[in-house]
Amino acid sequence: MEDSTDGLHHLIEQELNSHEKILKPDFSETTGRELLVFYLQSKFKQLVSFDRDSKNPIFSYIKPEFVQKFSRRLVSNPDKRIMIGITGESASGKSTLCKAMSNVIKSFNMPVSILATDNYFKDISSLIEKYSTFDNLRDNGYDVDSPESFQLDVLQDDLQMLAKGNDIYAPEYLPNGTGVSVPRSKFVPSNKIIIVEGMATMYGQIKDIFDIKIYVETDIDIRKERFLHRAFTERNQDFSNAKKHWDYILVAGEKYVKPSRSSADIIINGTTNMEYFCQLLEYLHAITNNFEN
């Protein structure tokens, strides 16, 4: 079987060097957008077929109605920001995927904003002060990953503002164990593409704001290995505490995150080759912008 990265590189070159390009549509007109959508649908089907035959496919599942639904949105409301929500259980690879998407999009000088929903955790500094440490608070029953532990009303308002083209100042949850949330702290511009990452992207009505809902899925053994490695190398946690927190997030993920899998438009393999994934994004960029003027 041909290496996925080599095969996709060949597709990109073939697309860029093709002499059979269509005239660039007038995107200000509905008919122009409809032509673009029809063209992209056919190319996307080719890409999915290619990925299906690769050694380590990116797409585990694509909702049957997703392409048509997203196409209708592009035609009917072209000025709305493209809102992409990425979720998955802890250590599934969603942050890595998000960074790869951002880097590729930026490399083509396309404006993109990144927002992490972890910044919308509620301020629990008084509770941590009461129990001395976050670990003690967790061990006494505080369910940090539950929807009730997030400022979902603020998150929903902020996402709706971004979708309409308005810049925001998001809260910032300090990752230093103090449980402090600083309101209106992080400036987030409303760029054409907005990627939102974290477990809260699919909580409640938040999921309805996104044009593309992505769920990243990875085998539990790989997730555990990633989580413990991160705990030791990045957070200086001892093994006992890291294992205890892994046991917590395992239960929390099953309870709060995994149900959102059924809402996803696309389920992505969290162990996919990032070079291959980036090339897939490059191909999408090529087919979207490679027109004859």
Residues whose CB is less than 8 angstroms from the CB of residue 149 and which lie 6 or more positions away in sequence, other chains included: 121, 122, 124, 142, 143
Asked if residue 278 lies in contact with residue 108, where contact means CB atoms within 8 angstroms, the answer is no
- Cα–Cα distances (Å) from 212 to 103, 140, 188, 264, 272, in that order, read 18, 37, 19, 8, 19
Long-range contacts of 185-190 (CB under 8 A, 24+ apart): 186/119, 188/113, 188/115, 188/158, 188/162, 189/111, 189/113, 190/81, 190/113, 190/161, 190/162, 190/163, 190/164, 190/165, 190/166
pLDDT tens, the chain, 293 aa long: 445 666 666 666 766 666 565 666 677 888 888 888 888 888 888 889 888 988 889 999 999 999 999 988 888 888 899 999 999 999 999 989 988 988 888 888 888 899 999 999 999 999 999 999 988 999 999 999 999 999 999 999 999 999 999 999 999 999 888 999 999 999 999 999 999 999 999 999 999 999 999 999 999 999 999 999 888 887 777 888 889 999 999 999 999 999 999 999 999 999 988 888 888 888 887 777 665 55
3-state secondary structure of 57: coil
* H or E element that contains 7: helix 4-16
Reported pTM: 0.90
